[in-house]
Structure 1
Amino acid sequence: MSLLRNLDDRLFFAINAFARHTGWLHATVLAYAKYGVVLFGLLLLVGLLYARARDSRTLAAAAWVGIATLLALAVNQPITHLFHEARPYITHPHILLLTSRSPDYSFPSDHAVMAGAVASGLLLVSRRLGMVAVAAAVVMAFSRVYVAAHYPWDVLVGLLLGAGIAGFGWLSLRVSLISLTSWLRRRPGLRTLFTKPN
């Protein structure tokens, strides 16, 4: 465990040193680190709109992305309180800090959990849209370390946790979700909501 901690610290300090020498990136990376969640919301919306014109399996997968993301964030809360991982700027007060201080814990990263769940889920909807979300998730994870809000391990585990909940949840529930979606699509009052008009 000490070896992993040492590698995590070394990678964090390398990224923090990179941040010190790339002042021209600060505003852009900070904006994405703080507000990039909006992009994931838009990707989720695009996935839902895309899925309305497809079969019930695709629409069920698109709906599951939102559910899985909320579920992953809920699961992450007790985990953060279990580990009590201090933020990097608490443990290392002399690092370059680009974001505001947060009173909550560092491990795993909520932002990375969210990004991992959306990216993994959207891969079930559309490979192309999913790959865009994967790229956005990787950049989100890097940005959270760049601004010194998290260690690399925090975001890596967050991505895997979010992706795992979305992926394994779909494997466990897909039959029921597809059946429910098909049933809803047959309801006269709900057909226009769940099916793209011709």
Structure 2
Amino acid sequence: MDQNLYLDILDHARGTPHWLQQLAELWTEAGLLVFAALFLAGWWRARAAGARTMALALLAPLATACGYAVSEALKTVFDEERPCRAVAGAPAPLVECPPTGDWSFPSNHAAIAGAAAVALALAWRGTLWLTAPLALLMAYSRVFVGVHYPHDVAAGLLLGGAVAYAAVRAWTRPATALVGTARAGRSAAVLWCAGRGPRQRATVRPGGVRDRSR
């Protein structure tokens, strides 16, 4: 059934306009850069936010890397051949079929996208409406261009998302403490990276005593 769905999607891809095929080829290779840009935007935004927000922003790419590492490790266990090489009579893929040894299950691209989508949503509330569709589009593109089965990308999305969620939950408290320590230091470079947090506001207490509070 999964093989038939793969063939149906690839047949559909072959019947789409050339510009759409080129767009899919570009997205499936370079689309992960969009998540990298969102990591940077989230970090920059968190420089003026609380320590926990900054910790989550810094953990997002780290948790994504963990999702990729687990996915890559599983590839060596399952050794599933790519459908563009294993499915008899399949149309030629839109991109070059990866060589033998670059196994199919699970999809690393989908795992990275799923992990990034979850980690970014945890770090930057309200972005799930953007990151989830981007992750789904990345996963679908891997089947569309012909280099993965549907179950490869489904497993990759779920695996990456689960690993990222677990990593962020486990490391949030120590990372928050680390950011607090970094912000209390005097190193200009460290402060620039960690941000100074919310700006302090000067208030005047009764009697003319100035008080600084966040």
TM-score (norm 1): 0.91
May I ask how many residue pairs the two structures share in their alignment? 192
The 1-side partners of 2:129 and 2:184 are apart by: 32
- DSSP 3-state at the match of 1:112: helix
Counterpart AA for 1:194: A
Cα deviations by residue, 1:8-29 (Å, 9 ceiling, x for unpaired) = 2232122112112213310001
How is 1:92-103 mapped onto 2 (pairs within 5 angstroms)?
92-96=87-91, 97-103=93-99
Partner of 1:119 in structure 2? 117
Q: CA deviation at 1:129?
A: 2.6
Cα deviations by residue, 1:120-151 (Å, 9 ceiling, x for unpaired) = 00101223333312111111001010001111
Alpha carbons 2:183, 2:196 under 8 Å: kept: no
Counterpart AA for 1:59: M
Q: Which stretches in structure 1 are left out of the alignment for 5+ residues? A: 1-5
Counterpart AA for 2:6: F
Partner of 1:42 in structure 2? 37
Partner of 2:192 in structure 1? 192
What percent identity do the matched residue pairs reach?
Answer: 33
Q: Which has the larger radius of gyration?
A: 2
How is 1:9-158 mapped onto 2 (pairs within 5 angstroms)?
9-24=3-18, 25-96=20-91, 97-103=93-99, 104-158=102-156
Counterpart AA for 2:195: T
Cα deviations by residue, 1:51-83 (Å, 9 ceiling, x for unpaired) = 112111111111111111112212222200100
Q: Which stretches in structure 2 are left out of the alignment for 5+ residues? A: 200-214
Q: CA deviation at 1:30?
A: 0.8
Note if 1:160 corresponds to 2:140. Answer: no
Runs of 4+ with deviation above 3 angstroms: none
Q: CA deviation at 1:185?
A: 1.5
Counterpart AA for 2:35: F
Counterpart AA for 2:13: A
- DSSP 3-state at the match of 2:9: helix
Name the one with the larger helix percent.
Answer: 1
The 2-side partners of 1:78 and 1:193 are apart by: 32
Q: CA deviation at 1:47?
A: 1.3
